[in-house]
């Protein structure tokens, strides 16, 4: 058996509100689909706003990744 250990470090996206890329991925996995929802849930980019472009990019990336993992429907024979 081969075990692969991946250490994933979180990177701060929003320093004002201590929101990391991992937080954004977690929120997307929990159902967040828009930047407004992300702001509502995390407070990301509601202070100085200098993180907005990066937060939006991270949200888009996380949303694409989540969509890629959505299983296809499997036909069931009855």
Residues found near ligand FES in the complex (CB under 6 A): 14-17, 45, 47-51
Beta-carbon-side half-sphere exposure of residue 64 (alpha carbons within 13 Å): 5
Closer by beta carbon to ligand FES, 1 or else 10: 10
Task: Please give the Cα distance from 73 to 12 (Å, whole number).
Answer: 36
Closer by beta carbon to ligand FES, 3 or else 20: 20
Which residues share a beta bridge with 20? 12
For the bound state, the minimum distance from the C-beta of residue 29 to ligand FES, rounded and expressed in Å, comes to 21
Going by C-alpha positions, the residue among 63, 64, 75 that lies closest to residue 35 is: 63
Task: Please give the Cα distance from 46 to 52 (Å, whole number).
Answer: 9
For the bound state, the minimum distance from the C-beta of residue 24 to ligand FES, rounded and expressed in Å, comes to 12
For the bound state, the minimum distance from the C-beta of residue 47 to ligand FES, rounded and expressed in Å, comes to 4
Closer by beta carbon to ligand FES, 1 or else 36: 36
């Amino acid at each position: 058996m081969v075990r692969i250990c991946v250490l994933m470090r979180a990177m701060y996206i929003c320093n004002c509100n201590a929101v990391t890329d991992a937080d954004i991925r977690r929120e997307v996995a929990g159902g967040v689909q828009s930047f407004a929802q992300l702001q509502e849930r995390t407070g990301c980019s509601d202070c100085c706003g200098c993180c907005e472009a990066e937060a939006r990019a991270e949200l888009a990336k996380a949303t694409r990744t989540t969509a890629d993992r959505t299983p296809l429907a499997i036909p069931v024979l009855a």
